[in-house]
Amino acid sequence: MNEVRHDIIIIGAGGAGLRAAMAVVETNPDLSVGLVSKVYPMRSHTVAAEGGMAAVIKPNDDRQHHIYDTISGSDWLADQDAVELFVDEAPRELIQLEHWGCPWSREDSGQVAVRPFGGMQIERTWYAADKTGFHVLHTLFQTSLQFSQIRRYDEFFVTKLLVADGRCQGCVALELRTGELHVLRAAAVIVCTGGFGRIFPFTTNGAIKTGDGLALAYRAGAALEDMEFVQYHPTGLPGTGILITEASRGEGGILLNTEGRRYLQDYDLGAPLDIHDPRHPQNRSMELGPRDRLSQAFMHEQAAGRTFQGKFGDYVELDVRHLGEERIESRIPFVRELALNYAGIDPIVEPIPVRPVVHYTMGGIDTDVHGATALPGLYAAGECACVSINGANRLGSNSLTELVVFGARAGRHAAAAAAGLELGGGAEIDRQAAAERERLAAWRARPTVDDRVASIRDDMTTAMEAGAGIFRDEASLAACCGTLRGLRARADRVHLHDDSPVYNTELVSALELDGMIDVAEAVAHAARQRTESRGSHQRTDFAARDDANFLTHSLAYRTDDGPRIAYKDVVITHWPPAARVYGAANDADGQA
Amino acid sequence: MGWTWWTQKPAYVHVFLREASAVFILAEVVLFAVLIHKAGQDAETYRAYLDFLWHPLMVVFHILALAFAVWHSVTWFLLTPSALPRQIAGRRVPAALVVGQQFAGLAVVSLLIALWVAWVGAT
Amino acid sequence: MSEKTIQLEVFRYRPDADGPGFQTYDVPFHDDWVVLDALNYVKDYVDGTLSYRWSCRMGVCGSCGMEVNGEPKLTCAAFLRDYLPGPVRVEPLTNFPVERDLVVNMDGFMSKLDSVSPYIVPKDEAGGGPSAEHLQTPAQLDRYKQFSMCINCMLCYAACPVVGRVDEFIGPAALALAQRYNLDSRDDGRERRYDVMFQDEGVWECTYVGECSEVCPKHVDPAGAIQQAKLSGALDYYKRMLTPWARRS
């Protein structure tokens, strides 16, 4: 097997991975970085983020507000020390992106413009029209090209983390172009592989978001934290699940049911102002409430029969017509482009059909504020990690910021830890690499069975939606856990039709599925054992938040018999748990 | 790609014709230069050259050259908005304005030449 | 009830097996399906050996560019209904070496992208220091914004006859990106990009066919960017010639 040596290996080359790579070089230009990704960096799913990126920069805003919005948005499950760091470092990271060339939308004065997003007291979302993630990703990627210390391994799929002497020392990667296996050794590995929305059938996530990094870390012994918290974005296009950004509501768009009513007013989200009132939209109110509450409101409307019935299930209407063509074209042009192309709707003249769709996974690899996991040498950052700043519900426009803040922190910390480190365990690494080659070779030797990777995947996503969707209960989760065990067995037997070494995408799909089942089991088991409702985790059989027993993060550890769930306390610094209040009363909030 | 690459798509053919117009325009320029040269010689030579230019086949050639020149001008005018920086004093200039100005310019120059020719002919 | 179907003719090639050819598949026809949906149907339920790239299926990751009936398209934005009654011929992007099936080799494109120094070269003294944002007015943003919208889908390289004839041509997307940074008020990298942009294989190779801009799914107008670069390059050339003493290193 081909063996390469770097100081740091980064798996995943999206926003977090690229930022981490540059942070390593900034910290110590003598270190070499291997940046490994199953896709070319500009294909990473950061590209699809639309609305923007939160950081305190305007004089009317304040760190206390951003911290409070984030913590209350998280339903008090975020670690408050991490949130404070996050909020404090966010402005510097966003200015760094500005210096690297990100084309932020501007005010007439030339200063960066901000817009409101859901759950915010003060508008603080920086944006590049409604293609913020696209611009951030390409800015980071293009900027990274000037650093010769960063060696890219594009289209290499990592199949295993190598652990020896109690330390993560690299990985085994499959080169998709040739089918060759490579051993990539390093003093530290940073996992930046993104979330796992693809374990669900209806998601805004791209095909690549299969949670590979979580499965790698989980199998290497790291814990997966808060996996039960899955965010449904309230406004996806029915059928395709394509995201219609929250910025459409930040700019003033409204949600309507079949009676033409702004139904959010019936769900403790405040009272609506007239759309032509200059104070509309109001921060932290109505359409600018948090995503979990808006998605849950949809479910109640659906149960009450006040949603529209369409070919792809029920929907409500997102109306932006009153913004006018000029504002739609300048602020949310991508919304119009997507609606025109994929729904055949021009938002200038018609409301857009929308429904909740799996969008973001709050859970991830358990890390501290430096991105370090409990396994020495293993780091994680971005959506695949759980620091946790997102708790039970992520606030819109915090995720892109999280990529750069914690990507940079993980890069700096790993660089400091890796410099000059002498590594042993060579024989153990060789043994594990050889075993991994055996494992992959065994896939090819499997006897033919009447089953398909796609069929197992379909059954998994169906089970997740039915058992662990927006509303869950003991019966649905127990069934889901049982189904997933059965799928585990099927995945262990499934046979591949493609025997080519070159771009064997069927093998890649099978490897992704193999990991996704582990990740899905962690979600279902963590959800089953959290007998309360908090943020995005809503149990119909335990409808209230239970701070006495569950002001804790769940930790899933892998065993051969399925996940073992443990807990650790949430870090509270200055903001004791309180009720989440949105709407009219919000002005009094946030002063805590 | 072989030498016939330009036949693969209509768009390529259009471009090829635009580029090929150079051949016709060059030929017309040469014919015109010769005309000036002939004008400096005796009347008989000049007359013979004029007859040559008015030969039916040559007239067909002139019309063809004119068509190519028009094709080149029109397609080029339509392309210019994207070939030019789009702002004047920080404001975006509409594409239609750029194209319109060029056609207007062409019309004005053509008109002036026509008037001049008419004036020379009349005196 | 018989389901309506449409036929795909898909280019197949495996470097370790027989030569290239076409394989036909009958797939269900749905009014709202794109070509990529049809390929996914084949991959998932008919023939797992078909290889191609895709991810976001919303026209922004740039992975799924292919030739659909001879035109370079993002297959996630090419609706089957526009190709009725079929068949729909799906091939890898032209002007690129094929690795397998619909997967092309991107090495050349990636090194061209790299060659134009596509990043901000900071001015010596950034106003306000590193802790502050640079000011950039909406008008300054507007000068380069359109050229910053490229998703690297490479459809323009497939559409460009010059790319097909001259391997070394830097090409539409990379040159547009170079021009994007040259036009950015924060950038001071024109000199660094000059040699690459204005070499023979740079902007001067372009004959302004304009097909790159026609096929661009993001309306970047690389052809326009290249012509603008030619204009500014020519002006720079004369400026250098007339004021040799002012020439920077």
CA-based nearest residue in chain B for residue C225: B83
| From A173-182, A228-237, A282-291, C233-242, the region with the lowest mean pLDDT | C233-242
Residues B31, B49: Cα–Cα separation, whole Å = 10
The reply to whether C89 and C115 lie within a common domain is no
The CATH number given to whatever domain includes residue A506 is 1.20.58.100
The reply to whether A347 and A451 lie within a common domain is no
List C-alpha distances in Å: C224 to A516, B120, C200, C221.
45, 42, 18, 5
Among A333, A356, A379, the domain-final residue is A356
The closest alpha carbon to A463, from A440, A490, A499, A435, belongs to A490
Residues A235, A240: Cα–Cα separation, whole Å = 12
Three-state secondary structure call for residue A353: strand
Helices (H), A339-381: none
The percentage of chain B sitting over the pLDDT mark of 70, rounded to a whole number, equals 99
Interface contact C61-A138, CB threshold 8 A? no
Domain count, chain A: 2
The percentage of chain B sitting over the pLDDT mark of 90, rounded to a whole number, equals 58
Among A324, A356, A388, the domain-final residue is A356
- For residue A320, the distance in angstroms to the closest alpha carbon of chain C comes to 21
- Report the predicted TM-score, pTM, of the whole model to 2 decimal places: 0.94
The closest alpha carbon to A312, from A263, A360, A347, A355, belongs to A355
Catalytic residues of A: 233, 249
The predicted structure's pLDDT at residue A584: 62
- Write out pLDDT tens, residues A53-86: 999 999 999 999 999 999 999 999 999 999 999 9
Residues B69/B24, Cβ–Cβ less than 8 Å: yes
**pLDDT at C237 > cutoff 90:** no
Q: What is the ipTM of this complex?
A: 0.96
Residues A61/A124, Cβ–Cβ less than 8 Å: yes
Residue numbers in B near C142 (CB within 8 A): 86-87, 92
| From A21-30, A328-337, A512-521, the region with the lowest mean pLDDT | A328-337
The single-letter DSSP state of residue C82 is: G
Model confidence at A444, pLDDT cuts 50, 70, 90, reads confident
Task: List Cβ neighbours of A277 (8 Å cut-off, separation of 6 or more).
Answer: none
Task: List Cβ neighbours of B118 (8 Å cut-off, separation of 6 or more).
Answer: none
Which residues sit opposite A537 in a β-bridge?
A534
The reply to whether C133 and C212 lie within a common domain is yes
Task: List Cβ neighbours of A218 (8 Å cut-off, separation of 6 or more).
Answer: A224, A365, A518, A519, A522, A556, A558
The percentage of chain A sitting over the pLDDT mark of 90, rounded to a whole number, equals 94
- Write out pLDDT tens, residues B4-55: 888 888 888 988 899 899 999 999 999 999 999 998 888 899 999 999 999 9
CA-based nearest residue in chain C for residue B81: C224
Establish how many alpha carbons lie within 13 A of residue A165's alpha carbon, considering only the half-sphere containing its beta carbon.
11
Residue numbers in B near C161 (CB within 8 A): 1, 5-6, 8, 12
Q: Is C16 on the interface with A (CB under 8 A)?
A: yes
Model confidence at A141, pLDDT cuts 50, 70, 90, reads very high
Write down which chains contact chain A via at least 3 CB pairs under 8 A.
Answer: C
Element (H, E) at A344: none
The closest alpha carbon to A438, from A160, A216, A169, A222, belongs to A160
The reply to whether A560 and A442 lie within a common domain is yes
Element (H, E) at A503: none
B/e letters for A479-492, b = 16+ CB within 10 Å, e = fewer, are ebbebbeebbebbe
The CATH number given to whatever domain includes residue A343 is 3.90.700.10
Long-range contacts of A432-439 (CB under 8 A, 24+ apart): A432/A160, A432/A162, A432/A163, A432/A164, A432/A172, A433/A1, A433/A162, A433/A172, A433/A181, A433/A183, A434/A1, A436/A159, A436/A160, A436/A172, A436/A181, A437/A1, A437/A172, A437/A181
Three-state secondary structure call for residue C78: coil
List C-alpha distances in Å: C137 to A68, A132, A450, C184.
32, 18, 62, 11
The reply to whether C57 and C123 lie within a common domain is no
The reply to whether A348 and A469 lie within a common domain is no
A393 is a domain residue: no
The predicted structure's pLDDT at residue A592: 36
Longest dimension (CA), chain B: 61
The predicted structure's pLDDT at residue B1: 61
The CATH number given to whatever domain includes residue C65 is 3.10.20.30
The residue behind tokens 């995943």 is A12
CA-based nearest residue in chain B for residue C212: B11
82-141 of C, contacting A, C-beta below 8 A: 99-101, 103, 106, 110, 113-114, 117-120, 122, 126, 130-138, 140-141
Among A310, A331, A356, the domain-final residue is A356
Mutation choice for A interface testing from C60, C104, C123 by most A CBs within 10 A:
C60
**pLDDT at B80 > cutoff 90:** no
The reply to whether A442 and A547 lie within a common domain is yes
Of C103, C117, C184, the CB nearest to A503: C103
Among C56, C76, C104, the domain-final residue is C104
**pLDDT at C129 > cutoff 90:** no
The CATH number given to whatever domain includes residue C131 is 1.10.1060.10
* Tokens representing residue C158 in the block: 């497939």
The reply to whether C112 and C98 lie within a common domain is no
Task: List Cβ neighbours of A310 (8 Å cut-off, separation of 6 or more).
Answer: A238, A353
Q: B with C: how many residue pairs have Cβ under 8 Å apart?
A: 53
**pLDDT at A113 > cutoff 50:** yes
Of C99, C130, C132, the CB nearest to A502: C99
The structural domains of chain B, ordered by start, are 5-120 (1.20.1300.10)
Interface contact B15-C207, CB threshold 8 A? yes
- For residue B108, the distance in angstroms to the closest alpha carbon of chain C comes to 26
Interface contact A504-C114, CB threshold 8 A? no
The reply to whether A352 and A437 lie within a common domain is no
**pLDDT at A591 > cutoff 70:** no
| From A216-230, B28-42, C65-79, C115-129, the region with the lowest mean pLDDT | C115-129
Residue A494 belongs to what domain range? Answer: 431-569
The percentage of chain A sitting over the pLDDT mark of 70, rounded to a whole number, equals 98
Q: Is B5 on the interface with C (CB under 8 A)?
A: yes
**Average pLDDT rounded to a whole number, residues C63-74:** 97
Helices (H), A165-290: 212-219, 247-250
Domain count, chain C: 2
Among C84, C104, C124, the domain-final residue is C104
**Average pLDDT rounded to a whole number, residues A250-257:** 96
Q: Is B82 on the interface with C (CB under 8 A)?
A: yes
Average per-residue pLDDT for chain A? 95
A548 is a domain residue: yes
SS3 string of A506-535? Answer: HHHHHHHHHHHHHHHHHHHHHHHHCCCCEC
Model confidence at C247, pLDDT cuts 50, 70, 90, reads low
Interface contact B90-C139, CB threshold 8 A? yes
The reply to whether C121 and C241 lie within a common domain is yes
**pLDDT at C50 > cutoff 60:** yes
The reply to whether A437 and A315 lie within a common domain is no
Three-state secondary structure call for residue A379: strand
- Counting beta carbons within 10 angstroms of the beta carbon of residue B112, is it exposed (0 to 12), middle (13 to 18) or buried (19 or more)? exposed
Among C64, C87, C104, the domain-final residue is C104
The reply to whether C91 and C146 lie within a common domain is no
Residue C93 belongs to what domain range? Answer: 5-104
Q: Is A496 on the interface with C (CB under 8 A)?
A: yes
